[in-house]
Amino acid sequence: MLAWLKTLAETYDVYADWAGTEQNDQAVLLPISHSTFNAQIEVVIDQAGNFLNARKLEKGRDAVTIIPVTEDSAARSSGIAPHPLCDKLCYIAGDYTAYTGDDKEKYYEAYMGQLRDWTISEYTHPMIEAVYQYLEKRALIRDLVMSKALELDGNGRLTDQTKIHGLGQTGANVRFRVLGDSMPQEVWKNQELYKRYSDYYQQRSGGKKLCYASGKVEACSDKHPSKIRNSADKAKLISGNDESGFTYRGRFTAKEQAVSVSYDVSQKAHNALRWLLQKQGYTRDESAIVCWMTNREMQLPDMMQDSVNAYHGVDDFAFNFDDIDSYASANTAKQDTGKYFTRQFGNAVNGYAGKIRVDDKVAIIALDAATTGRLSVVYYDEMGGRQYIEAVLYWQQHCRWRRTVKVGGAEEGKRRVTFECTPSPRDMALAAFGVQRSEWLEADGKLLRTTVKRLLPCITGKRAEIPEDIIRAAVRRASMPQTMSDFVWYNDVLCVVCAMIRFRYERRGGRMENFLNDNVDDRSVLFGRLLAVYDYMEQRAMFERDETGKVKERRTTNAKRYWNAYSSRPAKTFKTIKQNLIAYEKKLSDYDLSRFEAWTGEIMAYMDESKFTNAALSEMYLPGYYQQMEAMKAAFQKKSNVEEA
């Protein structure tokens, strides 16, 4: 039941040397018994506890501060539960009441008592002794006002009318820098201080119980960390505050009967999960999903991205995403840049896959918001590294379609590349349930989360098919092209649903490369091909171009206008579309008209009377439409190339 906790704790042990340090500008793995908060003020003192200066911090990454915590302070929402070192003004300022009129003396006494215990223990450190000596003077707010880090009103009171980072200044978080021989001088970056506090706090643990995750008798905790998805996240994976009201739904008399997890395992697992999500996780639509190598440091392809962006940033992947323009320029105008790119990318993927070892292990976990204050594990799986890579490669090789995607690093630096790639699970969810309200497709967050979760087994296990209802929903969206812009309909819906159909088709033994030839007797495919012929015929006739080759006027074709009706009643709607095209046929050149007539005759040769009915088309008509359209465009392009030569 708690395999995910055990695996995460073991992952923490693999990277334990990284705790508290920045690695390649990535998120920081928190030490045991530590958390983070956003500091608004930084106080500088010397080793004798004398105030030197203070400053307001800029909002952003620099404000994120690693702080030691207790079980109570890490989980506090009300009551008195001070952090051991860095905290809010009401805890650490002995003159808080004098400057605000709000009696917080008990907060200050609780903080100082806790800090005193640390300073007199064998785990003390010159930095915390200096902080204790300074705060004992009860002059923090006075010093902050003098240094202009805080402001008083006309009555000499500290109020919340003045804001720091958008928050009232009475609730400001304060961190300390101690100048002296110790390096670094920042208390929130000192590795020795991390170690001393962790040892100090863990030796204070109470009675021991059986840990359900490790199977060992250890000091257990009933208060577990939050801030899993981000620093403002209050939802917890493990909580037991149902002692009144439902009283554990009548199943237990005490929360320990449901689960008991040691403090050490809980800290390691939660810190590892938080770190992995920040470093390489997918956090969107209130869900959080991460896949990682549990036994060593090796980056894995991100299965939540489309197949090309899945490898962006992976160190062991020998493909330079910043040189995509050179890949394109390496080809002549008549070559297919997409195929060239696909070939180069495929070589890099095969090279990366060869670096997976036999003993590598991979884990995947997906979290979702169960309630406002609780998270649930909605998907968890473990497998061998090679098994995972084989499953991902199978997914990427068989669930793909030619479409345009953005690739590269930062959003402003991304470029559009057209080639065969696998759409991301979120792309599939949007294709099935999205509605275009602005430039892109949008959908309900809960529906997106649920759909993405249902697609995970399709990626990690070759035996799992894409659920039928998701494909049907995507086919319905693709059958309504008039509700979207041409690009969104074609690229984000039609191509995505064709990729999903391909995955199922090839899992059942088919090959999409031979799709049209292998399905000459399938009425849905034949009707899809006919729709493409009449759609492209009208495009060639209607879209007149100026001297520069730019289309003068672009209007919706009859095929697009009647598309939805065609998919439901193809025989009847086919006649309507054909009748409406009579006027456009006169605008076609003799060559164009003869080609379209030849294609129509070729398709109709397989369409006997028993197939030419009004029974609704299956999803197979969509790849039939697409491949027929691509074949016709290629034929006309080939003719143009010959004429230019």
How far apart are the C-alpha atoms of 164 and 55, rounded to whole Å? 11
β-strands 287-293, 173-179 pairing: unpaired
Long-range contacts of 168-173 (CB under 8 A, 24+ apart): 169/40, 170/89, 170/90, 170/100, 170/102, 171/88, 171/89, 171/90, 172/40, 172/41, 172/88, 172/89, 173/37, 173/38, 173/39, 173/40, 173/41, 173/65, 173/86, 173/87, 173/88
How far apart are the C-alpha atoms of 391 and 402, rounded to whole Å? 21
Q: Residue 49: left (phi > 0), alpha (psi -120 to 50), or beta?
A: left
- The pair of structure tokens assigned to 108 is 């200050």
**φ and ψ at 441, to 5 degrees?**
-75, 145
β-strands 173-179, 41-46 pairing: parallel
DSSP state of 70: -
Looking at the chain, the number of H-run helices and the number of E-run strands are 25, 19
* Side chain identity, residue 504: R
Query: Radius of gyration over alpha carbons of the chain, in Å?
Result: 32
How far apart are the C-alpha atoms of 358 and 448, rounded to whole Å? 35
* Side chain identity, residue 533: V
How far apart are the C-alpha atoms of 226 and 376, rounded to whole Å? 13
Cis bond before residue 184 (omega within 30° of 0): yes
**Minimal CA–CA distance to 392: which of 441, 436, 425?**
425
Cβ neighbours, 10 Å, residue 234: 12
| Segments of the chain with pLDDT less than 70 | 1, 182-183, 205-206, 240-253, 255-256, 321-338, 408-413, 462-463, 543-554, 644-645
- The pair of structure tokens assigned to 250 is 């009548």
Q: What angle do CA 346, 425, 429 make, to 5 degrees?
A: 140
Q: Residue 619: left (phi > 0), alpha (psi -120 to 50), or beta?
A: alpha
Q: Are 234 and 226 in contact (CB under 8 A)?
A: yes
Tens of pLDDT, residue by residue over 219-263, are 888 888 888 888 778 888 887 666 666 555 666 667 667 778 889
How far apart are the C-alpha atoms of 644 and 425, rounded to whole Å? 42
pLDDT for 328 equals: 58
pLDDT for 439 equals: 86
What is the average pLDDT score of the chain? Answer: 88
Measure Cα distances from 340 to 307, 324, 513 in Å.
Answer: 16, 11, 18
Measure Cα distances from 485 to 417, 482, 533 in Å.
Answer: 19, 7, 21
How far apart are the C-alpha atoms of 406 and 306, rounded to whole Å? 10
pLDDT for 332 equals: 46
- The pair of structure tokens assigned to 540 is 């060639």
